[in-house]
Each structure stands twice: as C-alpha cells, then as structure tokens.
Amino acid sequence: MTIRKARPAARLLMVDPDGHILLFRFTPDKGRPFWATPGGACDPGEDYATAALREMEEETGWSLEPGPEIAQRTVEFITLEGEPVWSDERYFFIRVPERSVRIDGHTVLEQRVMTHHHWWHPTDIRQSDERIYPEDIVEMVEAQLTHG
C-alpha cells in the first residue's frame, strides 16, 4: 500500500474574452508530457483562495481576484518531484482581459517542466490527443460561461 501525503491545491481556470483556456504543457523527467491548468499546492496555513491568487501571480503574472470556487475534487497522483499525494483540488474561474502570460515568477522546477503555455479553444481541447487535466475542463468552463 502506498502512503500518500495530503496536498491541498488551488487550480485556475483562466479564460480569455474569446473563451480560450490557458494551459501549461508539463514535460516531466519521467513519464509522458501533459497539459494542465495553472495552480498548485497551498502553502502551510494558506487557504485555497489565497493560494489561487499566489499561484496566479507566480505562474501567469496576473494579479486578479481569483473568482468563485466552482469545483472541488480529490485525485491521487505522483508529483513531479516523485511524491505520492492525495490532492484536494479546488478550482477557481478567472476571466482575463487578454491573452498574456508572464513566466518570470516560475520556480526552478516550473522553469524545467512547464515548457510551453497555450490558450486553447474548447473545440481544440475536445479534438486533441494530448493528455489534458482536468479531463472535463471544457465542461467546467462552458458551465461557467453559460450559467455562471
């Protein structure tokens, strides 16, 4: 049995005015590349909304209100550092006024493994053969654009 460390995390669903979704391509040292939302683990004592704002600033350069928490899920995985975790992920929906990203706040690990970013149209995500997380990202975003 694998012992997993608890890892609370804030994930960001960042959407431009045309409905494109920001994703980063992760190229781990081991395993297949994948695309995922900006965001990451909460620092000790940090709540999810505070972590969302910090992660947004560090990974994208944006400093916007994190928006509403629209989803919560738990997943088990092995981090890029090789640590087995049980992650309580909270998703925040954020509209951005334009497609710009600053990566100068990335950590050394992020600089190594977050090799690209792209603003994806939902149709392109649906048609892609790439691994994209969360797997239901299009449905999450479209629900917010339609009903949020």
Alpha-carbon gap, residue 120 to 22, rounded angstroms:
6
pLDDT digit string, tens, across residues 82-109: 889 999 999 999 999 999 999 998 888 8
- 18 class by beta-carbon count within 10 Å (0-12 exposed, 13-18 middle, 19+ buried): exposed
Residue 29: which domain range? Answer: 5-147
pLDDT digit string, tens, across residues 7-54: 999 999 999 999 999 999 999 888 899 999 999 999 999 999 999 999
Give the list of residues 6+ apart from residue 80 with CB closer than 8 angstroms, or none: 26, 28, 29, 109, 113
**Total number of domains in the chain:** 1
Q: For residue 96, which of 28, 14, 26, 11 has the smallest C-alpha distance?
A: 14
Read off the CATH number of the domain in which 109 is found: 3.90.79.10
Global pTM value:
0.93
